[in-house]
Amino acid sequence: MEFIAQELDDIVGSLKALTVDWKDETARRVIGRLKKFPVKTNYAIADVKIMLDENFDDGILILRLFMGFSKDQFVSVLRGIRKEPGIGVKSYRANPESFIEDLLSIGLLAAMAEEAQRTPHWSDTLVERLRSGRGSAISGQKRGRGVEDFAEAIVKKVFGSKFDMRCTFTGPKEKAKCDFAIPSKSAPRIVIESKGYGATGSKMSDIIGDVEQIIRAKRSDTALLFFTDGLTWKQRKSDLRKIVEFQNMGGITRIYTYAMAEQFEADLRQLKSEYGI
């Protein structure tokens, strides 16, 4: 495979937004329960008990939404007021009455009544909180997994089942984690790392260390391909520039985005032929 020094501007110019549905199965299930939730001016202990008995984890999530608490906030508050140890389902089942009394002490029933009376539809506020809180985390997971799934489909198209995925591969002197090792993690000729980002954060800097470890661990004649996308790289150009520098120095064979999928497949086929995989 011919070496071509890539430019930062070329990679940035090919980036595009990664749009995904923020809802997972839990979110859809909770939204369904919210839509069917009885609207009252006054709620009672029985209403809370029904909610927790049907599905404890979903019930706790719904109660958090009524209160407008993040998971960390809710856990901190509940642990601070609990008269008995534990805040999970086992603690609830051991003494439901005590558990619910502790929940009521933080103003749960009033919050439920206030939210239920909102217009045009009282669940809209809760759905928005679910989207911006839990949904934000789910979106991040889906973006990363979406890039990985996209790369996996092309790898399968070229190599069939001759690869290991999400594994630790063995190099001459040390080991390193990677998303794909072709044809195997014990003797990889091609290593692929795939990352997708929809929000800036420390993980975008962490990938620098991950790539450096792969470069140290792999054989000098093992190709390292990096597949990524997401417009947030434009806000973290310093991190992307470092990755491009790895490529220019020969540590990374080539960098790809969704827009470069055809080139990704073509290069994999060329490497397959060169390495006789």
Residue with tokens 């690869």: 163
83 shares a domain with 187: no
pLDDT at 244: 96
pLDDT at 219: 94
- Do the domain assignments include residue 3? no
128 shares a domain with 148: no
Per residue in 216-227, pLDDT (tens digit) is 999 999 999 999
Pairing of strands 190-196, 175-182: antiparallel
Pairing of strands 254-256, 223-229: parallel
CATH code for the domain of 239? 3.40.50
Structural domain ending residue among the three candidates 102, 136, 170: 136
216 shares a domain with 129: no
Q: For residue 182, list its beta bridge partners.
A: 190
- Do the domain assignments include residue 199? yes
185 shares a domain with 88: no
82 shares a domain with 131: yes
144 shares a domain with 15: yes
165 shares a domain with 123: no
260 shares a domain with 222: yes
Structural domain ending residue among the three candidates 119, 136, 153: 136
**Contact (CB, 8 A) for 197 and 230:** yes
267 shares a domain with 130: no
> What would you report as the CA-atom Rg of the chain, rounded to the nearest whole angstrom?
25
- Do the domain assignments include residue 243? yes
Residue ranges, the chain, pLDDT below 70: 136-137, 139-144, 197-205
- Do the domain assignments include residue 33? yes
Structural domain ending residue among the three candidates 98, 117, 136: 136
The structural domain count of the chain equals 2
Please give the Cα distance from 180 to 203 (Å, whole number): 19
178 shares a domain with 132: no
The whole domain housing 226 covers 8-19+140-275
246 shares a domain with 121: no
- Do the domain assignments include residue 1? no
208 shares a domain with 110: no
- Do the domain assignments include residue 2? no
3-state SS, one letter per residue, for the chain: CCCCCCCHHHHHHCCCCCCCCCCCHHHHHHHHHHHHCCCCCCCCHHHHHHHHHHCHHHHHHHHHHHHCCCHHHHHHHHHHHCCCCCCCHHHHHHCHHHHHHHHHCCCHHHHHHHHHCCCCCCHHHHHHHHHHCHHHHHHHHHHHHHHHHHHHHHHHHHHCCCCEEEEEEECCCCEEEEEEEECCCCCCCEEEEEEECCCCCCHHHHHHHHHHHHHHHCCCCCEEEEEEECHHHHHCHHHHHHHHHHHHCCCCCEEECHHHHHHHHHHHHHHHHHHCC
